[in-house]
Amino acid sequence: MSRGWCLGRTPSAVAATIAALSLGACATVVVPPAAPGQAEAVYLLDHGRHSSLVLPAADGGMVRYEYGDWAYFALNERGARAVSGALFGPSTAALGRQRLPGPASAFAVRRHVRVSIENLYVLEVEREGVRTLRERLDAIHESAGEKPVYNPRYELEFVRHPDAYSASRNSNSMVADWLQSLGCRVAGWKLWASWDIRPPRPLRSNGREPSRPQG
């Protein structure tokens, strides 16, 4: 069973966290595009509490990206102030990047990513979307104007991300946004590393997806 909690609509981040712990499991549903013109595989990694995304690189290798709280992920701080910032925010955010050798495959991801992977999902998406997302994330990383901070705990080089981190804007919700930019349909709370990958539905002759039965 996928792990995670659904957050209810509560007036504060503290109350939301308490409510989350008291509710049942709730996965984020991801449906890849039904018929990408030039399909390319990307790799969604569930690390238990957080997620990262591996994209094929132009040179035949791969690149892993992850978003998180700066103090917690980049600086590896675990004091009360850092933990409260990571839980509730808003706080300074980080974008992590790890270059991996190719050729791109699920086997190569598991071989070269030594951080614990609880689940690995292979998603077929449009190649042009992969290129666009990779260039956008690399641009953030390379225009940060600072030397990246390497944290061996996550095997990532971190720079500051322009979007503030918060309880509702964490590594999992950011990865969900990246998947949406790749043409995936994403539904659910998107706050926990609990993913439910559904098969894409075939397109009708008019180019539209068949409607999903209600109820």
pTM of the model: 0.80
pLDDT of 84: 53
Two tokens, residue 179: 């998947």
pLDDT of 83: 53
Are 53 and 180 a contacting pair, CB within 8 Å?
A: no
Q: Quick: pLDDT tens for 3-17.
A: 333 333 333 444 444
Q: Which of 70, 32, 26, 60 is nearest to 161 (CA)?
A: 70
Residue with tokens 């901070």: 149
pLDDT of 164: 93
Distance, in Å, from the CA atom of 82 to the CA atom of 205, rounded to the nearest integer, reads 53
Q: Distances from the Cα of 140 to the Cαs of 60, 61, 123, 163, in angstroms? A: 21, 20, 24, 11
pLDDT of 117: 96
Are 179 and 53 a contacting pair, CB within 8 Å?
A: yes
The segments of the chain whose pLDDT lies below 70 read 1-25, 78-89, 202-215
pLDDT of 16: 41
pLDDT of 157: 97
pLDDT of 167: 81
pLDDT of 202: 61
pLDDT of 103: 94
pLDDT of 210: 43
Are 42 and 133 a contacting pair, CB within 8 Å?
A: no
pLDDT of 61: 97
pLDDT of 93: 95
Q: Quick: pLDDT tens for 157-190.
A: 999 999 999 888 899 999 999 999 999 999 988 7
